Amino acid sequence: MGSTGVPINYDSRFRGSNPCENTRSPDCQRVQLAFSSDHPGGAQGVLCDGSVRFFQDDVDLIVWRDYGTRASQVPATVISR
């Protein structure tokens, strides 16, 4: 289980260091919630309809967050284009 409120592979930012030396630090909590994978450049994910997708590390964070909610954060003017 994870959160789309945290960027994919957030833990890769800390190679060689431990963000969880203080388990209450915001970075430690984000690492624990992030979807991550050893796939280069992103992570595999299964959607509720059973389909499997590869999500790239550089996915727009608003779009990534929208995958985890029914209440879209994308302005209607962007969707209608």
| 66 inside domain | yes
- Nearest residue to 4 (alpha-carbon basis) of 50, 52, 73: 73
pLDDT at 78: 52
> The whole model's pTM is what?
0.68
| 27 inside domain | yes
50: domain range?
Answer: 10-79
Instruction: Round to whole Å and give the CA distance between 41 and 75.
Output: 27
pLDDT digits 0-9 by tens, 18-53: 898 888 889 999 988 888 888 889 999 888 889 999
* Whole-number percent of the chain with pLDDT over 70: 90
**E strand or H helix at 53, and its extent?**
strand 52-56
| Helices and strands, counts by H and E, the chain | 3, 2
pLDDT at 75: 66
Where does the pLDDT of residue 15 fall: very low under 50, low under 70, confident under 90, or very high at 90 and above?
confident
| 2 inside domain | no
Instruction: Round to whole Å and give the CA distance between 33 and 11.
Output: 10
Provide the number of structural domains found in the chain: 1
**E strand or H helix at 21, and its extent?**
none
| 34 inside domain | yes
| 3 inside domain | no
pLDDT at 81: 47
Residue 80, CA distances (Å) to 4, 12, 62 in order = 23, 35, 16
